[in-house]
Amino acid sequence: MPESTKIEIRHISLETLIADMESKGIPRIPRFQRDYVWERSKVAVLFDSIYQEFPIGSFFFWITPREYRDLYKDIPELQLPEPKDYEQIKMILDGQQRITSLYVAAKGLTIQANGKSEKDYKKICFDLDAQSFLVAKRNEDKKRVVSVWRFFNLEGESEVYDELTQERRASFRKCQSRLRSYPLSIVEVRDVHLGDAVKIFERINQGGKRLGLFDLVVASTWSTDFDLKEKVRTLNKTLEEKGFGKIDEEVVAQLISLFVKGQCTRAVQLQLKNEEIKAIWGRIEDAIKLAVDFLSANLGVRIYEFVPYPSMIAMVAYLFAKADTRSLSPQQAAFVKEWFWKAAFSQRYSASTLTLMGSDRLDYFDPAVE
């Protein structure tokens, strides 16, 4: 018998994809994926490509081993049900932005994109006369401009179809047919563990942003009882409430790596283990808050944007964490102030940042603790 393959290519219609998400809760988004960022104008262009019968690229799904069945994250606004086959979850390795865009428009949902205010995706519409897609403005002619969700919803269709002229009915049916029947190419991989799944994502994700180093650390250290991304999200919420603003997620990973490994290069960060981070998370969280307070009170860095280099927060926080103190001694405070201005004016962290942080830890910060 031929050896079974880990890869299978399937072809389904857009209508089937939407129905599977709505009824079965699949596919899901793995926790290491970035948040949804597409604006409505970009989604309108995606639907125009479908209508014009242009290719929109393949989608890569990961059929997860049982131990990773909890690795998916929920987007509450999508209103997806719990996956029916909980033992075998399909997750999106590539195509998250496109699939989420198709679903929110087809369902007419309101969702937050790119960290901005909520947007109503019912406003993505098809102009029956111009036969093009647009983001509708107020007071559009509803007998000419039809929201995309109506093409996927029988009740929504009936509300407008009977009021259309014969020409516009023909345009409506043409658009509906092309959207619903549009063929999607799905590449599914199975019997692949987390590390290889992340590698696959890195190698196939040509169109969007690649996973950052922090995303890779999150993926490699995730467990059902500890999610570094959620921990950092909670920490940043606290910093925002203090008026400082959110810090880069990478700063946290740098600090953890410096504290645990003594270095924070890419290779070293990717060696971090879940147990190592869990054991010192409380100390790391406190150290960052204390560093932010010190910078704000003593160096005029009252908001995140005032920090010359984000990594400087990690260095100051390292001193608090290493010294295991809630306040610096006069000598330590004087050292930080002198180091801060020298590093800022010399543009110390403008290049080779991760390597220099390790050197500075060894040469300056560890001696300051002693």
* Residue 365 burial (10 A CB sphere; 0-12, 13-18, 19+): buried
162 & 297 share domain: no
Question: What pLDDT was estimated at residue 63?
Answer: 85
Domain tally, the chain: 2
| DSSP class of 25 | -
Average pLDDT, the chain: 87
Can you tell me the mean pLDDT for 24-39?
A: 77
Residue 190 lies in a domain: yes
Q: List the one residue out of 141, 140, 160 whose CA is nearest residue 149.
A: 160
Can you tell me the mean pLDDT for 281-298?
A: 96
Residue 141 φ then ψ, to 5°: -70, 110
Separation of alpha carbons 110 and 113, rounded Å: 10
Question: What pLDDT was estimated at residue 228?
Answer: 92
Q: Please state, as a whole number, how many other Cβ atoms lie within 10 Å of the Cβ of residue 341.
A: 12
- At 189, the pLDDT band (50, 70, 90 cuts) reads confident
What digits encode the pLDDT tens for the residues 122-165?
999 999 999 999 999 877 777 899 999 999 998 878 888 988 99
Look at residue 262 and tell me whether its pLDDT is greater than 90: yes
Supply the range of the domain harboring residue 131.
7-203
Rg (CA), the chain: 25
Residue 107 lies in a domain: yes
197 & 223 share domain: no
Of 152, 181, 203, which residue constitutes the final position of a domain?
A: 203
Strand partners, 111: 119
Question: What pLDDT was estimated at residue 116?
Answer: 62
Q: Which two tokens stand for residue 25?
A: 């809760």
188 & 224 share domain: no
136 & 240 share domain: no
Q: How many residues are there in the chain? A: 370
Residue 100 near residue 16, CB atoms below 8 Å: no
Strand partners, 126: 133, 146
226 & 186 share domain: no
Look at residue 13 and tell me whether its pLDDT is greater than 60: yes
Residue 1 lies in a domain: no
178 & 230 share domain: no
Residue 200 near residue 93, CB atoms below 8 Å: yes
Separation of alpha carbons 27 and 287, rounded Å: 38
The residue that leads in pLDDT, 63 or 297, is 297
Question: What pLDDT was estimated at residue 270?
Answer: 81
What digits encode the pLDDT tens for the residues 43-102?
999 999 999 999 998 888 888 877 776 777 777 677 787 776 655 788 888 888 899 999
The whole-angstrom distance between residue 39's C-alpha and the CA centroid of its chain comes to 15
227 & 166 share domain: no
Question: What pLDDT was estimated at residue 147?
Answer: 94
185 & 233 share domain: no
SS3 per-residue string spanning 35-66: CCCCCHHHHHHHHHHHHCCCCCCCEEEEECCH
* Residue 340 burial (10 A CB sphere; 0-12, 13-18, 19+): buried
The identity of residue 329, as a single letter, is S
154 & 227 share domain: no
The residue that leads in pLDDT, 4 or 68, is 68
Q: Which two tokens stand for residue 156?
A: 């929504």
261 & 359 share domain: yes
